[in-house]
Amino acid sequence: MRCVSKTEARPDVRGDAPARQGQGATALRLAVFAATFVGLQSLWSTARGTVVERTLIDSLIVPVAAWWVNVIWPSVQASAQGARLVSPAGGINVLNGCEGTDVLFLLMAALAVAPLSWRARLAGMAIGALLVFALNQLRIVVLFQSVRLEPEWFAALHAVVTPLALTLAVALFFLAWMRRHAAFPWASA
């Protein structure tokens, strides 16, 4: 007859404890991620129609997009008129929701709960914010050109293609950042 130790008879006493702790930590990270994302989105929604929103869109996003269009295609003669990016051949309105904050907030929430040092977390947030801004500028320029050159493409590009491309690009950035900086055994594998 074989003697059975308490840990063999009751693996949940000791053997499964690390797994349960890991599940609890994951659940906590998911809850904090969701709360952070919802909190940032809610805070941004309170800025709708305020000087904060107008400053971001009218003074930063649209003028920079107009500059890019004019650098790449000088003959287009794009200009920023408040929240509108216009040219003689057409234009678009950049509204709340088109400025890339939703993807930025997803990234910020993910980095906030990631197992990173504070230095890596803050650097990831800064570099990630610049990446989101640059990619969203590309998105706005593509949408602007689609209105001018291929108007029938605009709806699909605006509603599906460019939001997915932006989200995927930022998710790949997050994964690459985690692979380089996270405190996981697989991070350096």
pLDDT single digits (tens) 93-109:
998 888 999 999 999 99
- Identity at 124, one-letter amino acid code: G
Q: Is 155 exposed, middle or buried (0-12, 13-18, 19+ CB in 10 A)?
A: exposed
Confidence band, pLDDT 50/70/90 cuts, at residue 20: low
**pTM assigned to the model:** 0.83
The backbone region for 82, taken as left when phi is positive above 0, alpha when psi lies in -120 to 50, beta otherwise, is left
pLDDT tens, residue by residue, 53-111: 999 999 999 999 999 999 999 999 999 999 999 999 889 999 888 899 999 999 999 99
Q: What are the residues whose beta carbons fall under 8 Å from the beta carbon of 81, sequence distance 6 or more?
A: 62
Task: Tell me which residue has tokens 């890019």.
Answer: 68
